[in-house]
């Protein structure tokens, strides 16, 4: 398999990237880690005129905590999140999700922002970002926008990102409550795209009640899904088996799966329910064990 | 159409003009003549094309040669030094960690990287470290064994040789 | 057989140094000056008429040397692809297959045009520009519908879609069923799977213009077979056609035939007067390299309440694909082995081969025997469940115990000790403890299961007396052993390893048999230019047939060496003693000559009267019978009832392949073999859209090859029951693991789901499939 020919440029500065993108519009494609894009180019499912490689732009990498946010540079690799053990207790769901993305070799190249912008309905980060209420900083020659994860994913491989924009940062609000989360993924084999995956993140208040809850569903719809009804059912409630079961049922209802070689729609919906249920138990246990 | 690319492969610097679409694996095999890096799946599941870029294991079928400009690439041909096998190579030989040998260079590169990151991996860490590589001959049993044995050899816990040497003396027939 | 120093030893492989350092020589590593590259344009339709092909844009594309279609190849490729003759059927249809479609494409992936260009990126660019005007035709995908009168046809010039219909009756089946306390029926599937050698196919053809000579480098299990047929079709005599196959990155049965692309590349080299290289990509491979299995068995079993098996009736529906594979009919052997390692009063089997608009099926690791084992071992478990008897005990009660044993179809099992392997496997897994644990876990709502597979298989293909009538070819094997003047030994063989370690194990045999240092023996294979004709490597035959051919040549060399020694010592030949390569006069071991000394003498002056110079021999070995490995595998699993996910907790195997040349290699073959059976049980399935015939599993993103994480630790053990049919006492081990393992897993899963009343589970036991079954059972 051989990609079709394209022009290639690897600017050293973000301004250059932005000017190229505004110049070429839909003909250009941003190359970050390339782990989704390059296989598509090889299959000739995509054939951009020009690839703009952001691999040599400074300042797009790294994870830091600042002003009540965890800020992740868009070009931060999956493996860097995987090894960011300082997030344990704050953003468990990220740490649980990272090692389940593809395989270690892909995680050495693939980037968080690249994966989010690629917006594969079975991409793992989308559901995680919905669960933690992330915001995406995107830049273009005409300025900067901050887009909430909720609403960002519009369809298969389609997002709110314009063709002249590049994502530069992911911001995740981290509050003061005790939090816990987890990511559960059913894959036909290790390294496979999810058949179903669920991201769960909860914050407990001082009274032990659920102060905030985020649930993201992966691979059960045209894009990553935020299970808002299930989240709403949890907030303000004291955790209980019944509550969790009800929230899981609502999360299952939020799924819009389609039958394919990974299983029937009914199956995927039910696994989403089961995983949200299991995930909430884990997340709440973790939060209860955590210190604020 | 072509662009200049300068990089270091197995310690040797080279400069070529390549098309941007040339995959690193094709560059290594067909331009640099290093055919030890293999292609088996085309869609980045199998890891037969694993090489190190700046010391990190990646799948060279999913990287363009131009992306590797200015970096150091290590291939299977560059792993043994001065005629001495890398402990992972030696362990694959000792433990029968290969049969047809086609996936082997990728496995050895991924395993060498794993042991550099984590010199004493648990069985579970070995499995997770080698998730990105497929083998169809060995059922992975002896690959796991080889990585364990290489880890022990590298940490000095064992002499590193669990098999007899070629042409060794009699071992009785089993049974 | 003498217990000697090398045979039976765990010797590290001499194949490995080059492979672990990146110096192997696989097909894509072959490169010639002025080489052009071929890209194949394939039909995207399962079935379509080709109205026209417009090559003009492709021809104008950068770097293109030629764009060729069927019309261009017609005068260059003079014959169709081969199909081996096979068993006498009541009905038989063998349509001819030309390597490239002309008017009608009959499977997705069939070649319709090729582009020859200066490099492979350019060839691929131009291939996108070949414009084919197709008229889609109905795709025949369903086996049973394909058999119905009036079904659409797989190819429009055929009378129907039946490739063969053959009955295999053995014994009075009605009487056996009349005696039964009960009869059970089941439908047991064998999904299509993709052999998935890690190295795809590929070839480099170098036809020398004006000289009618050709060299074809190719990734194959059968170089001599390729030469015979590709050379024949191209009009190049074998003496001028050389097929070279260096390192081969796995085969598993999918590289044991000449393929269309080998003909097309060779013809393209002839047409363009350039060496032509073609390397298959993985999507092409999934579409256009032969698949395995693809069968449905409808089974009825008659048994008594005490567990006695009486009679077995079954029909094999086999998906041939659009054309016969070269050896597709071999898979009918499932009928003859359907009785497994048990006594039956009667068996009545029937095989119907059915054409569909899919790629051909052909042997895949085990070829017919995994299907037979899966069938009979499933049936035994159904019987055990019906009467509430432990599945181990039903097996024990019905085992064949006396050898040689002639089975219902007249095949003679050479040797066996089935109960011993069952006992040993049960002890190794601690069966009583496992059952107790299962009971405890069930009480906690956890679902674990234990599955047995006690198998016997036929291999060492094969005696000409059996293979010639059945397959039209005498599957003998060859060797040439040449001792050079200074004593090193070159052994050339007709078999061709692709991971089986022949260079090591054959050298072990030669070292012992000739009494020479192991390191002095060189094994050559894979190049028709310097090896005698052989049928190649498949069917677990290379040791039992090829190894014996080597033994035969070694014996001839020893005989001549004895004559040389007698001459040197001025003694009578009868008085010469041979001991570990030392030749001396009886009673005088102190004055001995090594084989190397005798070899040197054989090339010198003063030979015995009438003796020719040199020390070498050529032999062909025709085995007196097949060989029959056997064993017992036990698998323990747990099923998550909420997701249907299966985890394998234990996998214990006790195998018996007779005497062992190199235990490390035998264990390795078992590991890989077992893994492939597990993989079929849980993961693999080539899927097509039933309506359109489009492949749904066209990349390895979709087609699942398990990673290390999915494979359990294999707890191996063995018994040794030598085969009495060959001097080495060996059987075969290349396929045994695969033959045994799929059903051990499926029986374990079925056992785990017994509390739901589930009696049968199909492959692959995907989580969604098990989830649906559990849900239905609970409803």
Query: What ranges make up the beta strands (E) of B27-175?
Result: 50-53, 56-59, 72-74
The conformational region for residue C729 under phi > 0 = left, psi -120 to 50 = alpha, else beta, is left
Q: What's the pLDDT at C4?
A: 55
Question: Count of CB contacts below 8 A, A vs B?
Answer: 84
Instruction: Give the residue-averaged pLDDT of C752-770.
Output: 98
CB burial class (10 A; 0-12, 13-18, 19+) of residue C577?
middle
Residues C391 and C494 in one domain: no
- Which chain B residues are within 8 Å of C123, Cβ to Cβ? none
Instruction: Give the residue-averaged pLDDT of B105-120.
Output: 98
- Which chain B residues are within 8 Å of A187, Cβ to Cβ? none
pLDDT digit string (tens) for C131-147?
999 999 999 999 999 99
Residues C85 and C233 in one domain: yes
Residues C131 and C275 in one domain: yes
Closest by Cβ to A8, choosing from B50, B66, B132? B66
Instruction: Give the residue-averaged pLDDT of C343-347.
Output: 98
In the structure encoding, which two tokens stand for residue C402, read together? 């006396």
Q: What's the pLDDT at C524?
A: 98
Say if the Cβ atoms of B136 and C197 lie within 8 Å: yes
pLDDT digit string (tens) for A15-46?
999 999 999 999 999 999 999 999 999 999 98
Q: Which of B84, B19, B28 is nearest to B51 (CA)?
A: B28
Domain boundary, last residue among B31, B54, B78: B78
pLDDT digit string (tens) for C47-75?
999 999 999 999 999 999 999 999 999 99
Residue B121 has pLDDT above 50, yes or no: yes
Mutate: best of A42, A46, A105, partner B, most B CBs <10 A: A105
Reduce the secondary structure of C230-294 to three states and give it as a string. HHHHHCCCHHHEEEECCCCCCCCCCCCCCCHHHHHHHHHHHHHCCCEEEECCHHHHHHHCCEEEE
Q: Is residue C167 part of a domain?
A: no
Structure confidence at residue B174 as a pLDDT band (50, 70, 90): very low
Residues C639 and C600 in one domain: no
Say if the Cβ atoms of B164 and C10 lie within 8 Å: yes
Instruction: Give the residue-averaged pLDDT of C593-598.
Output: 97
How far apart are the two ends of chain A, measured CA to CA in Å?
52
Q: Is residue B47 part of a domain?
A: yes
Residues C400 and C412 in one domain: yes
Q: Is residue B171 part of a domain?
A: no
β-bridge pairing C91-92 and C36-42: unpaired
Residues C589 and C660 in one domain: no
CA distances from A260 to A264, C222, C698 (A): 6, 39, 14
CB of C482 within 8 A of CB of C489?
yes
Q: Is residue B133 part of a domain?
A: yes
Residues C425 and C506 in one domain: no
* Nearest residue of C to residue A191, measured between CA atoms: C707
pLDDT digit string (tens) for B39-83?
999 999 999 999 999 999 999 999 999 999 999 999 999 999 888
Q: Is residue C543 part of a domain?
A: yes
- Which chain A residues are within 8 Å of C683, Cβ to Cβ? 188-189
- The mean of the pLDDT values for chain C is 96
Structure confidence at residue B161 as a pLDDT band (50, 70, 90): very low
Domain boundary, last residue among C580, C605, C621: C621
Residues C590 and C696 in one domain: no
For residue B141, the enclosing domain spans: 87-154
Q: What's the pLDDT at A3?
A: 97
Residues B7 and B72 in one domain: yes
Q: Cα–Cα distance between C518 and C495 in angstroms, integer? A: 20
Q: What's the pLDDT at A175?
A: 83
Say if the Cβ atoms of B164 and C9 lie within 8 Å: yes
User: Where residue C568 sits, what CATH number does that domain have?
Assistant: 3.30.365.10
Q: Which of C559, C408, C422 is nearest to C483 (CA)?
A: C559
Q: Is residue C451 part of a domain?
A: yes
Residue C276 has pLDDT above 60, yes or no: yes
Question: For chain A, what are the domain ranges?
Answer: 7-53, 63-173, 178-289
Ranges of chain A whose pLDDT falls below 70: 291-292
User: Does the predicted model carry a pTM greater than 0.95?
Assistant: yes
Say if the Cβ atoms of B100 and C10 lie within 8 Å: no
Residue C472 has pLDDT above 80, yes or no: no
Residue B164 has pLDDT above 50, yes or no: no
Q: Is residue B65 part of a domain?
A: yes
Q: How far is C67 from chain A (nearest CA, A)?
A: 19
Residue C713 has pLDDT above 70, yes or no: yes
Is the CB of residue B42 less than 8 Å away from at least one CB of chain A? yes
Q: Is residue B163 part of a domain?
A: no
Our separate counts of H helices and E strands in chain A read 10, 14
Instruction: Give the residue-averaged pLDDT of C143-159.
Output: 97
Residue C707 has pLDDT above 80, yes or no: yes
Say if the Cβ atoms of B132 and A8 lie within 8 Å: no
Say if the Cβ atoms of B166 and C121 lie within 8 Å: no
Residues C133 and C267 in one domain: yes
For residue C417, the enclosing domain spans: 292-461+625-778
Say if the Cβ atoms of A44 and C699 lie within 8 Å: no
Residues B101 and B124 in one domain: yes
Residues C378 and C400 in one domain: yes
Instruction: Give the residue-averaged pLDDT of B7-32.
Output: 98
Instruction: Give the residue-averaged pLDDT of C313-333.
Output: 94
C282-303 b/e (C-beta count within 10 Å ≥ 16 → b) = bbbbbbbbbbbbbbbbebbbbb
In chain B, alpha helices (H): 24-26, 87-94, 104-117, 123-129, 141-154
Domain A7-53 has CATH 3.40.190.10: no
Say if the Cβ atoms of A193 and C772 lie within 8 Å: no
Structure confidence at residue C3 as a pLDDT band (50, 70, 90): very low
* Percent over 90 (pLDDT), chain C: 95
Question: Count of CB contacts below 8 A, B vs C?
Answer: 215
Count how many domains chain B has.
2
Q: Is residue C556 part of a domain?
A: yes
Question: Using the 8-state DSSP alphabet, how is residue A4 labeled?
Answer: P
Residues C664 and C699 in one domain: yes
Write out the DSSP string of C523-580. Answer: EE-SBTTSS-----S-TT-IIIIIIHHHHHHHHHHHHHHHHHHHHHHT--GGGEEEET
Is the CB of residue A12 less than 8 Å away from at least one CB of chain B? no
What part of C 63-122 touches B (C-beta under 8 Å)?
121
Residues B19 and B60 in one domain: yes
User: Where residue B91 sits, what CATH number does that domain have?
Assistant: 1.10.150.120
Residue C298 has pLDDT above 70, yes or no: yes
Residues B57 and B95 in one domain: no
User: Where residue B32 sits, what CATH number does that domain have?
Assistant: 3.10.20.30
Count how many domains chain C has.
3
User: Where residue C87 sits, what CATH number does that domain have?
Assistant: 3.90.1170.50
Q: Cα–Cα distance between C322 and C505 in angstroms, integer? A: 39
Q: What's the pLDDT at A274?
A: 98
CATH topology for A178-289? Enolase-like; domain 1 (3.30.390)
Say if the Cβ atoms of B98 and C19 lie within 8 Å: yes
How far apart are the two ends of chain B, measured CA to CA in Å?
66
Q: Is residue B166 part of a domain?
A: no
Say if the Cβ atoms of A44 and C128 lie within 8 Å: yes
Q: Positive or negative CA dihedral for C419, C425, C431, C437?
A: negative
Q: Is residue C44 part of a domain?
A: yes
Mutate: best of B50, B67, B69, B133, partner A, most A CBs <10 A: B67
Say if the Cβ atoms of C707 and A190 lie within 8 Å: yes
Residues B40 and B92 in one domain: no
Is the CB of residue B64 less than 8 Å away from at least one CB of chain A? yes
Q: How far is C710 from chain A (nearest CA, A)?
A: 7
Q: Is residue C542 part of a domain?
A: yes
Q: What's the pLDDT at B172?
A: 34
Q: What's the pLDDT at A291?
A: 66
Residues C104 and C245 in one domain: yes
What would the CATH number be for the domain defined by A63-173?
3.30.465.10
Q: Is residue B103 part of a domain?
A: yes
Residue C647 has pLDDT above 90, yes or no: yes
* Percent over 70 (pLDDT), chain C: 99
Instruction: Give the residue-averaged pLDDT of C441-445.
Output: 97
Residue C419 has pLDDT above 90, yes or no: yes
β-bridge pairing C162-170 and C346-355: antiparallel
CB of C516 within 8 A of CB of C522?
no
Q: Is residue C263 part of a domain?
A: yes
Domain boundary, last residue among C621, C638, C658: C621
- B168 Cβ contact partners less than 8 Å away, ≥ 6 residues apart: C9, C11
The size of chain C, in residues, is: 779
Is the CB of residue A49 less than 8 Å away from at least one CB of chain B? no
Residue C86 has pLDDT above 90, yes or no: no
What ipTM describes this predicted complex? 0.97
Structure confidence at residue C5 as a pLDDT band (50, 70, 90): confident
Q: A283 — phi, psi (to 5°)? A: -60, -45
């Amino acid at each position: 398999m051989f990609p079709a020919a394209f022009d290639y440029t690897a600017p050293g500065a973000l301004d250059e990237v932005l000017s190229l993108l505004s110049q070429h519009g839909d003909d250009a494609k941003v190359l970050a880690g390339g782990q989704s894009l390059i296989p598509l180019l090889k299959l000739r499912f995509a054939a951009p005129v020009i690839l703009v490689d952001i691999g040599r732009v400074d300042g797009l990498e790294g994870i830091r905590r600042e002003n009540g946010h965890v800020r992740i540079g868009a070009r931060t690799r999956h493996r860097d999140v995987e090894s960011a053990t300082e997030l344990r207790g704050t953003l468990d769901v990220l740490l649980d999700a990272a090692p389940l993305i593809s395989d270690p070799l892909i995680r050495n190249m693939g980037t968080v922002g690249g994966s989010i912008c690629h917006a594969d309905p079975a991409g793992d980060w989308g559901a995680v970002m919905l669960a933690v209420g992330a915001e995406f900083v995107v830049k273009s020659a005409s300025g900067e926008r901050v887009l909430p994860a909720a609403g960002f994913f519009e369809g298969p491989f389609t997002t709110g990102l314009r063709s002249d924009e590049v994502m530069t940062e992911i911001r995740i609000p981290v509050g003061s409550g005790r939090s816990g989360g987890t990511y559960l993924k059913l894959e036909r084999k290790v390294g496979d795209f999810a058949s179903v995956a669920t991201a769960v993140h909860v914050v407990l208040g001082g009274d032990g009640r659920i102060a905030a809850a985020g649930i993201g569903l992966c691979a059960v719809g045209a894009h990553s899904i935020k299970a808002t009804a299930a989240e709403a059912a949890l907030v303000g409630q004291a955790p209980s088996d019944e509550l969790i079961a009800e929230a899981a049922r609502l999360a299952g209802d939020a799924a819009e799966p389609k039958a394919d070689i990974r299983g029937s729609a009914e199956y995927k919906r039910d696994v989403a329910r089961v995983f949200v249920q299991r995930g909430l138990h884990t997340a709440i246990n973790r939060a209860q064990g955590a210190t604020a | 159409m072509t662009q200049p690319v300068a990089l270091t492969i197995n310690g040797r610097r080279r400069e070529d003009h390549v098309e941007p679409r040339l995959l690193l694996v094709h560059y290594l095999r067909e331009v640099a003549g290093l055919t030890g890096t293999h292609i088996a799946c085309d869609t980045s599941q199998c890891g037969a094309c694993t090489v190190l870029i700046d010391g990190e294991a990646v799948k060279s079928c999913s990287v363009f040669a131009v992306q590797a400009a200015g970096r150091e690439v290590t291939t299977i041909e560059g792993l043994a030094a001065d005629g001495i096998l890398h402990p992972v190579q030696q362990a694959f030989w000792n433990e029968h960690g290969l049969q047809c040998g086609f996936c082997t260079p990728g496995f050895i590169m991924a395993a060498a990287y794993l042991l550099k990151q984590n010199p004493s991996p648990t069985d579970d860490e070995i499995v997770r470290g080698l998730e990105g590589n497929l083998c169809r001959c060995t059922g992975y049993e002896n690959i796991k064994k080889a990585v364990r044995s290489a880890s022990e050899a590298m940490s000095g816990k064992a002499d590193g040789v669990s098999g007899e040497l070629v042409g060794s003396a009699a071992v009785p027939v089993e049974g | 057989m003498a217990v000697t120093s090398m045979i039976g030893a765990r010797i590290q492989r001499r194949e490995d140094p080059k492979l672990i350092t990146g110096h192997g020589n696989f097909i894509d590593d072959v490169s010639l000056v002025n080489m052009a590259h071929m890209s194949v344009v394939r039909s995207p339709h399962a079935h379509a008429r080709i109205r026209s092909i417009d090559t003009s844009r492709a021809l104008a594309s950068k770097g293109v040397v030629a764009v060729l279609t069927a019309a261009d190849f017609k005068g260059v490729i003079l014959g169709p692809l081969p199909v081996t003759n096979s068993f006498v059927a009541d009905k038989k249809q063998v349509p001819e297959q030309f390597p490239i479609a002309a008017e009608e494409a009959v499977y997705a992936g069939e070649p319709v045009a090729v582009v020859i260009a200066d490099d492979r990126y350019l060839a691929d660019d131009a291939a996108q520009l070949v414009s084919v005007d197709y008229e889609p035709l109905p795709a025949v995908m369903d086996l049973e519908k394909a058999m119905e009168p009036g079904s659409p046809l797989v190819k429009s010039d055929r009378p129907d879609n039946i490739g063969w219909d053959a009955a295999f009756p053995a014994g009075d089946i009605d009487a056996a069923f009349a005696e039964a306390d009960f009869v059970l029926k089941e439908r047991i599937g064998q999904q299509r799977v993709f052999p998935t050698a890690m190295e795809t196919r590929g070839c480099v053809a170098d036809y020398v213009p004006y000289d009618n000579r050709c060299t074809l480098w190719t990734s194959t299990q059968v170089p001599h077979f390729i030469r015979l047929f590709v050379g024949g079709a191209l009009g190049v005599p074998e003496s001028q056609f050389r097929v070279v196959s260096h390192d081969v990155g796995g085969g598993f049965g999918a590289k044991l035939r000449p393929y269309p692309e080998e003909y097309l590349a060779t013809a393209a080299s002839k047409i363009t007067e350039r060496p032509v290289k073609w390397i298959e990509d993985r999507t092409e491979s999934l579409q256009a390299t032969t698949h395995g299995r693809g069968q449905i068995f409808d089974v009825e079993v008659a048994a008594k309440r005490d567990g006695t098996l009486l009679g077995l009736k079954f029909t094999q529906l086999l998906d041939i694909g659009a054309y016969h594979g070269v050896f597709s009919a071999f898979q009918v052997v499932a009928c003859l082995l359907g009785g497994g390692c048990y006594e039956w009063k009667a068996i009545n089997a029937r095989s119907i081969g059915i054409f569909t608009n899919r790629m051909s099926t052909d042997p895949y690791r085990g070829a017919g025997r995994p299907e037979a084992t899966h069938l009979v071992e499933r049936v035994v478990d159904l019987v055990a469940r019906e009467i509430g008897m432990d599945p181990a005990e039903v097996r024990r009660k019905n085992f064949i115990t006396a050898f040689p044993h002639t089975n219902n179809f007249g095949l003679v099992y050479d040797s066996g000790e089935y109960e011993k392997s069952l006992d040993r496997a049960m002890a190794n897994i601690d069966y009583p403890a496992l059952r107790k644990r299962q009971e405890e876990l069930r009480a906690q709502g956890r679902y674990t299961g234990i599955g047995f597979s006690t198998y016997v298989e036929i291999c060492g293909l094969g005696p000409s007396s059996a293979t010639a009538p059945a397959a039209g070819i005498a599957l003998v094997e060859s060797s040439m052993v040449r001792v050079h003047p200074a004593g090193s030994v070159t052994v050339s063989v007709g078999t061709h390893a692709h991971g089986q370690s022949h260079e090591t194990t054959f050298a072990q045999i030669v070292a012992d048999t000739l009494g020479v240092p192991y390191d002095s023996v060189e094994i050559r294979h894979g190049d028709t230019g310097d090896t005698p004709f052989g049928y190649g490597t498949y069917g677990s035959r290379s040791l039992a047939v090829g190894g014996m051919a080597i033994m035969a040549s070694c014996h001839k060399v020893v005989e001549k060496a004895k004559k040389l020694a007698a001459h040197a010592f001025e003694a009578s030949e009868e008085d010469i003693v041979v001991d570990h390569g030392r030749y001396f006069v009886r009673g005088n071991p102190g004055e001995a000559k090594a084989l190397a000394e005798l070899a040197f003498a054989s090339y010198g002056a003063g030979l015995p009267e009438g003796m020719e110079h040199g020390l070498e021999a050529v032999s062909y070995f025709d085995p007196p019978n097949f060989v029959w490995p056997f064993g017992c595998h036990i698998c323990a699993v747990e099923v998550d009832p909420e997701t249907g996910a299966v985890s394998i907790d234990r996998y214990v195997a006790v195998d018996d392949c007779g005497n062992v040349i190199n235990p490390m290699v035998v264990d390795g073959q078992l590991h890989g073999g077992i893994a492939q059976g597990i993989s079929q049980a849980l993961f693999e399935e080539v899927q097509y859209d039933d309506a359109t015939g489009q492949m749904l599993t066209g990349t390895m993103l979709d087609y699942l090859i398990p990673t290390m994480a999915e494979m359990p630790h294999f707890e191996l053990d063995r018994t040794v029951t030598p085969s009495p049919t060959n001097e080495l006492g060996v059987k075969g081990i290349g396929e045994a693991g695969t033959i045994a393992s799929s059903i051990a897993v499926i029986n374990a899963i079925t056992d785990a789901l017994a509390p739901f009343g589930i009696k049968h589970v199909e492959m692959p036991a995907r989580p969604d499939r098990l989830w649906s079954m559990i849900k239905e059972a609970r409803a």
